[in-house]
Amino acid sequence: MSGDWPLWEVFVRAKGGLSHRHVGSVHAPDAELALRHARDTYTRRLEGVSLWVVPSAEIVASDPDEAGELFEPAESKIYRHPTFYDIPDEVKHI
Amino acid sequence: MAPSLPPIRPEDEAVAEKLRPNGAFDPRDDEPLGSARKELLVRLGDDALILGQRVSEWCGHGPALEVDISLANLALDLVGQATLLLGQAGDGDRLAFHRDVLDFKNCLLVEQPNGDFAQTIARHLLYTTWQHMLLQRMTGSSDRFLVEFATKAVKEVAYHRDLASEWTVRLGDGTEESARRMADGLDWNWRFVPELFEVDEIMQAAIDEEISPDPRTFEDEYRSAIAAVLADAKLDVPAEQRAILGGRRGHHSEHLGHLLAVMQFLPRTYPDATW
C-alpha cells in the first residue's frame, strides 16, 4: 500500500526559536495524512512543536558529481570563518 | 457476515451465574462496584482497555509502516487512559487481568473485531467521536480526578477522532473497493451506537451527582458530526438497525472472550510475574 504513496520529507522544529530540521521521510497519500504520519512517526517522544512536510519530488538536490566545483573552493578560504577576533563573554548566541 | 449476538435471556444469565465458581478462573476479587463513580470509572476504563487491546492487534500487521505506527500510538494512548481510570477504580492490574467476561463493563462497540482496516477505522470514528464529546463535557465534572483525567485525555482523543475522520474520508471517497469496505465497516458497527447513549440507573446516578455529563445531551450533535464526516466521505449514513445493548451490564458478544484469552494469558499463566 505505502509503495503506491508518494514520499514526503519531514522537518521538525524542536522548540520555539529554533529552525525546522530534516528528520526523515514518510509515505502518505496526500499532504494532510503526511502531516499526521509525520506526527505519529517523528514526534512520539516530544521531539517537536512544529512540523513541515514537503513532497520529496519537490526537493531540488545538488549533483554529487559537481561537489568539486560547488564545495571545494570554500576549503581554502579560512578567512571566511569569523575566528580571528575575540568575542566578549557578554555576547551570547554566536 | 453478521456476528452471532443472540439476546441474553434471564435463564441464560441464571446458568452463567451458577457456573461462575466453576467456569471463572478466579473468584470475583472485587467488591460489588457499588458507587456510581466507581462504576463509571470501570465502564470508561474498560472501554479504553478493550479498544486499546483491539487496536494493538494491528501491531506489525498495519497496511503500511506509517499506519502501523499510527495505530500503535492510538492503542498506547488508550491503554494509558485505561491505566489511569482502572487505577482510580481500584487495583488496575487486577481489574484488567483477573476479571472474566461477565465482569467487564465496556460497551459492545469497542470489543468488535478489527475486520479490515476500514472496519477498524469505522469503529474508531464511532467510539472516539462519542468519547471526545463526553470528555469535553467531563472537564466540568464535580469529581476532581475526572476533571484532571478529561483535561489530559481530551487532547489525545481529539487526535483519534481527527485521524479516524480523515481516514473515513480517504477510504469512503477513494476507490470503489475502499468505499465498499468503509461502508461495510460502518454497517457492522452501527448497531452498537445506541448503547453509547443509554442511561441506566447507574449512569443516571452519575449524572445526578454531576460526575458525568448526560450523553443524551449530545446525541444530536454526535449524529450530525458523524453525518458530516460521512457526507465528506460520500457515504450514506447506515440504515438504522436493531440496537444491541448490554455491555454495561456484562452481556458481551462472543468476541470479548477471545480478546481476554489473549490479553490475560500471561498474568493468568504466570501469576505475579514481573519484569
pLDDT of residue B31: 46
- Is-contact B217 B78, C-beta < 8 A? no
For residues A1 and B65, what is the distance between their CA atoms, to the nearest angstrom? 9
Locate the chain B residue with the closest alpha carbon to A40.
B70
Q: How many residue contacts between A and B have a Cβ separation below 8 Å?
A: 36
In one-letter notation, the amino acid at residue B50 is I
In one-letter notation, the amino acid at residue B141 is S
CA–CA min distance A60, chain B (Å):
25
Residues of chain A contacting B66 with CB distance shorter than 8 Å = 2, 26-28, 37, 40-41
Residue B194's contacts (CB-CB under 8 Å, 6 or more residues apart) are B243, B245
* Percent over 70 (pLDDT), chain B: 91
Residue A19's contacts (CB-CB under 8 Å, 6 or more residues apart) are A13
Question: Does B163 contact A at CB distance below 8 Å?
Answer: yes
- The count of other CB atoms within 10 Å of the CB of residue B91 is 13
For residues A9 and A53, what is the distance between their CA atoms, to the nearest angstrom? 5
- Residues B70, A40: C-beta atoms closer than 8 Å: yes
Question: Does B175 contact A at CB distance below 8 Å?
Answer: no
> What's the order of all strands across the beta sheet hosting A7-13?
A20-27, A7-13, A50-55
- Is-contact A24 A36, C-beta < 8 A? no
Closest CA to B172 of B114, B104, B242, B125: B125
pLDDT tens digits, A27-70: 999 999 999 999 999 998 888 999 999 999 999 999 999 888 88
- Per-residue pLDDT, averaged over B151-165, amounts to 97
Which domains are assigned to chain B? Answer: 34-269 (1.20.1260.10)
pLDDT tens digits, B4-34: 666 777 877 777 676 655 444 454 444 455 6
For residues B89 and B35, what is the distance between their CA atoms, to the nearest angstrom? 10
- Is-contact A48 A38, C-beta < 8 A? no
- Per-residue pLDDT, averaged over B68-91, amounts to 97
- Is-contact B110 B51, C-beta < 8 A? yes
pLDDT of residue B2: 55
Give the relative orientation of helices B144-172 and B219-232 as an angle to the nearest 10 degrees.
30
Mean of pLDDT over chain A: 89
- Beta-bridged to residue A21, according to DSSP, are A12
Upper half-sphere CA count for residue A14 (Cβ side, 13 Å) = 5
**Predicted model pTM:** 0.85
SS3 B214: coil
Closest CA to A53 of A24, A82, A88, A11: A11
CA–CA min distance A10, chain B (Å):
13
Q: List the grid coordinates of A82.
A: 569569523
Locate the chain A residue with the closest alpha carbon to B117.
A1
Mean of pLDDT over chain B: 92
Which domains are assigned to chain A? Answer: 2-62 (3.10.20.520)
Q: Which string of DSSP letters, residue by residue, matches B162-211? A: HHHHHHHHHHHTS-HHHHHHHHHHHHHHHTTSGGGG---HHHHHHHHTTS
pLDDT of residue B101: 95
User: What are the backbone dihedrals phi and psi of residue B238, each rounded to the nearest 5 degrees, phi first?
Assistant: -60, 150
In chain A, the N- to C-terminal Cα span, in Å, equals: 47
pLDDT of residue A7: 97
pLDDT of residue B30: 47
